[in-house]
Amino acid sequence: MAVYHADALVIRSREFGESDRVLTLFSRELGKLQAVAKGVRKPKSRQRAGVQLFTYGDFLIHRGKTLDTVSQCSPRESFPYLWNDLDRSFAATGIVELLDISTVVAQPNPELFALTLTCLFLLEQFDPSLVLSAYALRLMVLLGYRPHLGECLECGVKVSGDRLFFSPEAGGTLCGQCRETYSGRWIRAGSIAFMRQLIRAEITKLDRLRWNAWMQQEILETLRLYLEYKFERPLKSWRMGSLTRDDVGQYTNGKEGNKFE
């Protein structure tokens, strides 16, 4: 039976059968994969720690006919700080959920792997919402969905004003003329500029960026709408907790104009 190694992160872990777990791993060389970890829910299992969500480690995996099986895991990092703080937990869950819904199995993306690992480490020190927002934007860039931020994506004119119209459907900001046929939401120009910085800034210096509560709220909501539109799946963890709130009231058709204050 073929055996392979995966240098991977546990991005999902669900109960399976009496005492097993099915893990979704994202690995540096192989991309996303699934494998069963047998017996890990038994109290005496020595592999319990290795199969916990967010764990980064080396996995030895047996290739099976239908499902592969984890035969050994050596954790390198378990990110203990992600478990003792609610905001960090939400951000880390938001990161792995987004990674899961935005990728398909067996498509390696070493840059995305590195970005994910870096962001989980940054959560120890940095503002969790800032890390989550930067992660989401950079993931979109790596997957070829960089949003247009500031110029009209239809006609290319620079869009100005205190607030701009962002359409998840179109993939970015639109001018007054082009937005009429699109749905979307209004967002302050400052938030759009900040999103550009979240993409451009050196990731290890993200903590130098300053934002405030309304920008945070607005950016996280806009990103969630954009991500859910692109991947056609709800981001459950993004809808829960303190990071974002569901605010459908601000989601309008471009024609209706200024519901913004």
Binding site residues, Zn ion, CB under 5 A:
152, 154-155, 175, 178
Q: Looking at the DSSP assignment, which residues form a beta bridge with residue 60?
A: 5, 72
Minimum distance between the CB of residue 155 and Zn ion, rounded to whole angstroms? Answer: 3
Residue 67 or residue 155: which is nearer to Zn ion going by CB? Answer: 155
Minimum distance between the CB of residue 184 and Zn ion, rounded to whole angstroms? Answer: 13
Minimum distance between the CB of residue 187 and Zn ion, rounded to whole angstroms? Answer: 16
Minimum distance between the CB of residue 253 and Zn ion, rounded to whole angstroms? Answer: 16
